[in-house]
Amino acid sequence: MTASAAGHLRAALAGNPALQDPDATVSIVIPVYNALEHVVACLHSVAKHTDVPFRLVIINDGSPDPDIAPFVAELDGATASVAAVPRNFFTAGGLTDAGVAALFLLPLREKVARSAG
């Protein structure tokens, strides 16, 4: 599932014009810890529904799931505005290195909400 899911996501991310600006001032940071199915759904939702120029930073937050590391690595560079961090980099210095200037946390718990339609 990992290669297939990552390939579909790379295409979805590349198809979003809002992800084509490497100088975007908004960054969406998604720490990933297990739950690959939920991560895939979350990233598809971000790709489909975000229409302001943004950078996407995907962080492997130390997940023990062996599918997470290759999945995150496969997404790196999907567009000029997508950065994937292979291990826990969720520190102020690490986020700055990934191009994030300011951070507002919106924690995602166990489920990805789906809208009707």
Q: Does a structural domain hold residue 56?
A: yes
The list of the chain residues with pLDDT below 70 reads 1-3, 87-117
Q: Does a structural domain hold residue 71?
A: yes
Q: How many CB atoms lie within 10 A of CB 25?
A: 11
Provide the pLDDT for residue 90: 52
pLDDT tens digit sequence for 101-115: 555 555 554 444 444
C-beta of residue 78 within 8 angstroms of C-beta of residue 8 = no
Count helices and strands (H / E) in the chain: 4, 3
For residue 42, give its domain range.
2-97
Provide the pLDDT for residue 112: 44
Residues 6+ apart with CB under 8 A from 75: 6, 9, 10, 13, 43, 58, 82, 84
Q: Does a structural domain hold residue 27?
A: yes
> pTM of whole model > 0.95?
no
54-60 and 82-85 strand pairing = parallel
Q: Does a structural domain hold residue 106?
A: no
Number of domains in the chain: 1
